[in-house]
Amino acid sequence: MKLSDFQKTVVNSILSGKCTEIVSFLNEYGELTQEISQGNYSIASHSFSNGSTVYVPKDRELTFTRLKEYVSLWDRLQVMGLIYTVSLDLKGKSLFPLFRSATSPDTAMLSIIYEHLKKEIFTLPELSAFAARGFLTTEEYFLQEENRDRKKAQRLTLIIAVISIAATFLSALFQYFTYTTDRNVVIKNANAFSDTTKVIIIDTKPLLKDTLHIQNNRNRIKLK
């Protein structure tokens, strides 16, 4: 489950007992300023009288984006079974007075507020586990662990292969520099000497050179 950084922050706020309903969320993250209403307004059977206190976002687009992220998060957490929505009996509760300016109610955000006005989040134990796993579902967490174990196994296999190749190379290199034609033969049976042939490898180049030198001397003698 992919959450934005802001939504992850809100999850932690919900776990701490904050932002469990939409008004507390707006007070926490709406970045609102207080102003005095200049006119009488009526929205969804709720009235805002002239001279009453209203709230105006410092950055309306930022507040609206955060509100939509909050509502989306609420729905997703409930579908996943991490929270439960309880209905509140709030007869006569007025709509949160969110305005664009002192003279203009924010109807887009007020409609969202109206839909969630009598709802509250009840957290379930699974939400704490979800946050502790790095905001991963159980399936996502086990899949991540499986991928991590597989990568570890692949790295270990690669390391073993490299070590094996290096050992083979060093062994061949050692044999190359230490190789000699000398051999020791151990004869345990003394009578075997009569059947043993001694083989001596002679470098013929010096002998050939000496032979040619003698032949040249003989030719000089004949010429004289």
Q: How far is CA 204 from the centre of its chain?
A: 71
- Say whether both 155 and 106 belong to one domain: no
List the structure tokens of 36. 């005095």
Last residue of one domain, picked from the residues 76, 105, 136: 136
Query: For position 16, what pLDDT does the model report?
Result: 94
Segments forming the whole domain that contains residue 175: 143-223
Q: Are 100 and 33 contacting, i.e. CB atoms less than 8 angstroms apart?
A: no
Per residue in 43-64, pLDDT (tens digit) is 877 888 999 999 999 999 999 9
Q: What is the pTM of this model?
A: 0.65
Whether the predicted pLDDT of 211 surpasses 50: yes
- Say whether both 108 and 155 belong to one domain: no
When the pLDDT of each residue in the chain is averaged and rounded to a whole number, the result is: 81
Rounded CA separation 69/101 (Å): 23
Query: For position 206, what pLDDT does the model report?
Result: 58
Query: For position 223, what pLDDT does the model report?
Result: 43
